[in-house]
């Protein structure tokens, strides 16, 4: 049996999310599910919930890795909940669990996850039109090491296609 590909979707939580970002994230979740990959998120609200909802509605498998120590904090679209109890340090667990990362908007927490993925040379796609961390870092490297370029994309399908093309079987 072949391991399923695991794609992490990161972005604004409910505090900074907008209906526009959630529409984009929902579409990303749909596209992840269509490929048969597992969707991983931080399991909470905003972009995480919207992506989870899209994958769930499309028959995909959704894993939420939450910062709390109790599964009840996870959004209702998570099929599997991992209550890490790690607080903000769970950003590294999210990045390491993923084969690739898609950024939708985002603030400092999203940047933390992006940095963790970058340090571990995970492929990263950023939705250019979503603002925040995604727009700021699309089409560039985070630092002089040039571990991986954060590839800017314009649509959820382009994001998923790019990540899928970069995952080594």
**Range(s) of the domain holding residue 141:** 6-166
The secondary structure of 3-45 as a DSSP string is PPPEEEEEE--TTT--HHHHHHHHHHHHHHHHHTPEEEE-SSS
The pLDDT score that the predictor gives to residue 2 is 84
Residue 1 lies in a domain: no
Domains: count for the chain: 1
- Per the domain annotation, does 71 fall within a domain? yes
Q: pLDDT (tens digit, 9 = 90+) per residue, 63-102?
A: 999 999 999 999 999 999 999 999 999 999 999 999 999 9
Per-residue pLDDT of the chain (169 residues; tens, 9 = 90+): 688 999 999 999 999 999 999 999 999 999 999 999 999 999 999 999 999 999 999 999 999 999 999 999 999 999 999 999 999 999 999 999 999 999 999 999 999 999 999 999 999 999 999 999 999 999 999 999 999 999 999 999 999 999 999 998 6
Report the CATH number that the domain containing residue 68 is assigned in CATH. Answer: 3.40.50.450
Reported pTM: 0.97
On whether residue 84 sits in a domain, the answer given is yes
């Amino acid at each position: 049996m072949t391991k399923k590909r695991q794609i992490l979707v990161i972005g604004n939580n409910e505090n900074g999310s907008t209906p526009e970002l959630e529409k984009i994230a929902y579409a990303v979740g749909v596209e992840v599910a269509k490929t048969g990959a597992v969707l991983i998120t931080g399991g909470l609200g905003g972009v995480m919930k919207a992506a989870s909802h899209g994958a769930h509605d499309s028959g995909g498998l959704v894993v939420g890795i939450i910062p709390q120590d109790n599964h009840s904090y996870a959004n209702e679209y998570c099929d599997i909940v991992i209550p890490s109890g790690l607080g903000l340090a769970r950003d590294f667990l999210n990045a390491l669990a993923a084969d690739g990362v898609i950024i939708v908007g985002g603030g400092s927490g999203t940047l933390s996850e992006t940095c963790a993925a970058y340090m571990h040379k995970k492929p990263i796609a950023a939705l250019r039109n979503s603002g925040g961390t995604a727009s700021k870092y699309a089409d560039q490297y985070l630092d002089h090491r040039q571990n991986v370029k954060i590839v800017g994309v314009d649509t959820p399908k382009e994001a998923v296609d790019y990540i899928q093309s970069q995952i080594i079987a």
